[in-house]
Amino acid sequence: MNSFNTDEDTKKILQKYNHCRVKIYTFNQSRYPRINKESLLPVAKDVSYSGENTEAWYPPGHGDIYASFYNSGLLDTFIGEGKEYIFVSNIDNLGATVDLYILNHLMNPPNGKRCEFVMEVTNKTRADVKGGTLTQYEGKLRLVEIAQVPKAHVDEFKSVSKFKIFNTNNLWISLAAVKRLQEQNAIDMEIIVNAKTLDGGLNVIQLETAVGAAIKSFENSLGINVPRSRFLPVKTTSDLLLVMSNLYSLNKKKKTPTLHRYFYKNTDIKL
């Protein structure tokens, strides 16, 4: 899933893989207008995306995947091909691969009742204090993000001893369930209000959603605690330098970087 900011660049990169036997699909997420914090009106003067209007739009977070995937037609295409589950992950997570053990659990559940939504969580360290965590409320699993926590409770939320796991954003979701909920308009996600300042100094707000927040809308949802190796995000040059270094070797079978056991896991590079 691309935004309007990344779509063209992604298509150029994917041309290199035209000879591969794997079909790579792309689709665009929505484009929402930024809102002036003072007037609470859209910053955009019209619906164009050029000139002064470029900064007036934003992609509304990865929670938009359900609507955009449905609207793209790909959901119906995959269901028509007999596919049952999608594996969703952040594109910068190099540890996110299709795990056949989890897939087998989905297809052959021990209790005979299939899960519609599985979230991979992993043990929290002090480097992960901002990560969302799973809670149970009214008989349903719910994702709580730091942006939703009142300031008075932020330190409590960051506690490694109180909240021991965090969401890796590796998700396994039933295609049939996405179609059913989307057509019933029944996917319920909390709105995250994100304050930003544009280059010209204008204060704006963006209304965003997180893909994992929909967990409460699905039936028989599950959280699975996975090894830390399935969460390896590369967001900065420092992160990239770390996985390119000889602290890691490439697992040729899984095509994922593997940290050598004798190195301390929380190696930190500061440039």
Dist. CA 190–CA 213, nearest whole Å: 7
Neighbouring-strand partners of residue 86:
173
Q: Which residue has the tokens 């995306």?
A: 49
Backbone phi and psi for residue 25, each to the nearest 5 degrees, phi listed first: -105, 150
| 126 alpha carbon, distance to own chain's centre | 21
Q: Is 235 a catalytic residue?
A: yes
**Annotated catalytic residue within 130, 196, 235, 265:** 235
Q: What is the token pair recorded at 192? A: 């995250």
- Asked if residue 121 lies in contact with residue 224, where contact means CB atoms within 8 angstroms, the answer is yes
The catalytic residues are 235
